[in-house]
Amino acid sequence: MGKACGYGLATIMGIGKAVPKHVVEQNTFADYYFDISNSNHMVDLKAKFAKICEKTMIERRYWYMSDEFLRSNPPITAYKSPSLGLRQQVADEAVPQLGAEAALNAINDWGRQASDITHLIFCTTESGRMPGADLRVARLLGLPLSTNRLMLYQVGCHGAGIALRLAKDIAENNPGARVLVVCSEVTAMGMRGPSEADMGNLVGQALFGDAAAAVVVGADPTAGERAMFEMVWASQDTIPKTENAVASWLSEEGIVYTLHRDLALYISSNIEELVQAALAQAEEGVEDWNQEVFWLVHPGGREVLDRVESVLGLRKEKLTASREAMRQHGNTLSASVLTAMDEMRRRSAERSLATAGEGLKWGLLFGFGPGLTVETILLRALPVTQPIA
Ligand SMILES: CC(=O)CC(=O)SCCNC(=O)CCNC(=O)[C@H](O)C(C)(C)COP(=O)(O)OP(=O)(O)OC[C@H]1O[C@@H](n2cnc3c(N)ncnc32)[C@H](O)[C@@H]1OP(=O)(O)O
């Protein structure tokens, strides 16, 4: 979808993130995880898990659930035990709280009042409650009751891509619209102990972390606003025959998921075509993917980034923002790619580069999720300016 109805293209005008306070260090995580799940007798599995943790290249993650809470609620740390109500209670508290904190940071970055937000898109994989976290966040931020809310439940890691694509359509078709996109994820639903028969679960336990990230989207910047990234084109694609590569379902035991060993291979084998299709939408030829393009790739796991980098022939530093987001937070599902965007913007500003996209004009954002679904957004980073006077 391109420019519509004579209004300008949707732009990202503010970015914010938030993490909960409990820090989980990856280099001691195997010991901790097997201890809280009373699984120290699984000696070989623990050794294998320690190796997986090391290979993730994650340094730390953040959890909303405290050590005390986990130790006093064994159904959460069992491999499978009825615990949905308990998990939902955590999500009810944590998802809106973290989301509101990230949203406030994005609104402060944007520079206008929260009451100027016209639409709210809230995305989480972790909750099944109505009314949803969108309403709680609207209340916490003091948004007007007339704010148009849209709640995306159970979307998975490509949720930010979906939310941005919808925000683009809204901003380009409703003059003056300012859309707050919030992605908030806590591992309360999917946290569980180890099982020798479920390696996919073990890989997930080494990867997933809690975080929220938010952006403000609008077309035609006005006084006090500065546009960072224009969303030029957005699309969704499904990779054929990969329906079982990532699957998750809500059960009495919380969210149970499978991660296929070849998931990274499926993504990397199909991404080149999607890159070409997206860059063909740029107004000028973009030939050199290292010199001319900045990359925001969902940090699904180290192997996902390695394979994407290799198949596209990207230099090591091109995926730095994604790798840093993963190193500092783990895979935070829908919040991941926005966290990477925040990191890229921060690093670009630190180096006084001409745009928030590492000084470059054209960029690609990729979200990956169950389906396998790929969300692609062609971005144009605008020259760094002060907010419009
Ligand atoms: C679609 C999306 O992308 C959405 C998401 O974000 S969902 C999460 C997506 N991410 C993933 O699935 C993780 C991708 N994988 C990785 O990043 C890496 O495999 C890793 C960091 C987990 C491990 O690194 P690695 O270099 O592959 O380590 P490696 O020594 O080969 O593997 C360790 C062990 O784990 C096993 N393993 C790894 N992934 C596995 C999986 N998904 N299922 C079963 N076993 C797995 C390996 O077979 C190996 O077992 P053995 O020691 O018995 O051979």
157, two tokens: 């890691």
Cα–ligand 1 centroid distance for 207 (angstroms): 10
Nearest CA to ligand 1 atom 20: 56
Nearest CA to ligand 1 atom 41: 261
**What percent of the chain has pLDDT above 90?**
94
**What percent of the chain has pLDDT above 70?**
98
Task: Check pocket membership of 157 for ligand 1, CB cut-off 6 A.
Answer: yes
Q: Which of 343, 87, 74, 368 is nearest to 239 (CA)?
A: 368
* pLDDT score, position 1: 43
pLDDT digits (tens, 9 = 90+) for 317-333: 999 999 999 999 999 99
Q: Measured from the CA of 370, which atom of ligand 1 is nearest?
A: 1
Cα–ligand 1 centroid distance for 266 (angstroms): 13
Interval 221-240 mean pLDDT: 95
Q: Which of 271, 304, 269, 303 is nearest to 289 (CA)?
A: 271
Interval 211-239 mean pLDDT: 96
Q: What are the catalytic residues?
A: 157
Nearest CA to ligand 1 atom 34: 52
Interval 92-102 mean pLDDT: 97
Task: Check pocket membership of 336 for ligand 1, CB cut-off 6 A.
Answer: no
* pLDDT score, position 389: 63
Which pTM was predicted?
0.96
Cβ proximity of 213 and 339 under 8 Å: yes
pLDDT tops 90 at residue 106: yes
pLDDT tops 60 at residue 65: yes
| Unique residue bearing structure tokens 């965007």 | 341
Interval 72-94 mean pLDDT: 97
What own/partner pairs with CB < 8 Å and gap ≥ 24 does 47-55 have? 48/202, 49/194, 49/202, 49/205, 49/206, 52/202, 52/203, 52/206, 53/26, 53/27, 53/29, 53/206, 54/26, 54/27, 55/302
Q: What is the mean pLDDT of the chain?
A: 95
Cβ proximity of 91 and 189 under 8 Å: yes
* pLDDT score, position 128: 85
Q: Which of 325, 300, 297 is nearest to 309 (CA)?
A: 297
Confidence of residue 127 (pLDDT cuts 50, 70, 90): confident
* pLDDT score, position 2: 45
Nearest CA to ligand 1 atom 39: 261
What whole-number distance in Å separates Cα of residue 70 and Cα of residue 34? Answer: 12
Confidence of residue 4 (pLDDT cuts 50, 70, 90): very low
Strands (E), the chain: 11-18, 22-25, 60-63, 119-124, 148-153, 178-185, 211-218, 229-238, 246-251, 254-259, 293-297, 362-369, 373-381
Task: Check pocket membership of 208 for ligand 1, CB cut-off 6 A.
Answer: no
Task: Check pocket membership of 270 for ligand 1, CB cut-off 6 A.
Answer: no
* pLDDT score, position 80: 97
Nearest CA to ligand 1 atom 45: 199
Is the interface score ipTM higher than 0.95? Answer: yes
pLDDT digits (tens, 9 = 90+) for 330-376: 999 999 999 999 999 999 999 999 999 999 999 999 999 999 999 99
pLDDT digits (tens, 9 = 90+) for 278-315: 999 998 899 999 999 999 999 999 999 999 999 999 99
* pLDDT score, position 374: 98
Which of 44, 125, 203 is the best mutation target for the ligand 1 pocket, counting ligand atoms within 8 Å of the beta carbon and taking the most? 203
| Pairing state between β 254-259 and 246-251 | antiparallel
